[in-house]
Structure 1
Amino acid sequence: MPFVRLTIAGLETEPAIVADLQRGITALMAEVLGKRADLTAVLVEPAPAGGWSVGGAAVARAAHVEARVTQSTNTAEEKAQFVAAAHDLLVRTLPGPLPLATYVVVQEVPADAWGYGGLTQAARR
């Protein structure tokens, strides 16, 4: 039941680009991290113009991915593969160069601290 938030700054979030990112991230969550695609939620949010900086200097374009998964359900290698593949997806899908500091984060949440449909992940086990 992963949740992924993708924040984009300095780019028009055209519906086609948003859909490509949502499909791509969902596929990576399933193929790389072994998560159920039908339970993967992806939110693409724009950041306000001028609202993003790297090293204290405003950047024209930027993106950030935060993927939340249940703690201890993925190996270090799987998470590293996801970070690399998600970064590649951003570079392929978004126009223009992105800063070197384009982060992809996999956050592990304890199974008793989140869930869906009114049940925690721990209760589903």
Structure 2
Amino acid sequence: MPFARLTLTSIPTLDQANHLATELTELIAHDLGKRQELTSILVETSGISHWAIGAEGRLTAAHLEVCVTAGTNSEQEKRAFIANAMTILRTVLPGLNPATYVVIRELPATDWGYDGRTQADRAMDRIHGTALIGQEKS
């Protein structure tokens, strides 16, 4: 049940936003092994009029942060995701500076939840065989 926030310097077209959300959702499912139907993506603008990299203003800039449950992905999976996410961003956002950060934030299972229950509680249900049908693996 990952959550991803993509922050951009300018407002994308509806087609760009939909394309980015689709591509990133599919990538999270493929590279990080998460369930696509439970992946949430927020594409937003920075809300600021000036984004600088190296003290130089940039018209095209982005930051992608993906939250997942700690310990559910290997270093190799995370490495592949970061490289592939950057490829997607560069394809949709020409001129994107290399100082574009893709961050995978690992949160303890006790610190975030899905449908009002912590990931730790949901994992315990799976261990004890009481998980509800349709719930995702962390």
**Contact 1:50 1:60 survives alignment (8 Å):** no
Within 5 A, what are the aligned runs for 1:97-116?
Answer: 97-116=95-114
Within 5 A, what are the aligned runs for 1:20-99?
Answer: 20-48=19-47, 50-94=49-93, 96-99=94-97
* Counterpart residue number, 1:3: 3
TM superposition outliers: structure 1 runs of 4+ over 4 Å: none
> CA shift at 1:100, angstroms?
1.4
SS at match of 1:23: helix
> CA shift at 1:49, angstroms?
5.4
Superposition TM-score, scaled by structure 2 size: 0.85
Gaps of 5+ in 2: 124-138
Q: How much identity, in percent, do the aligned residues show?
A: 43
Superposition TM-score, scaled by structure 1 size: 0.94
SS at match of 1:32: helix
Aligned length: 123
Q: Aligned Cα RMSD in Å? A: 1.1
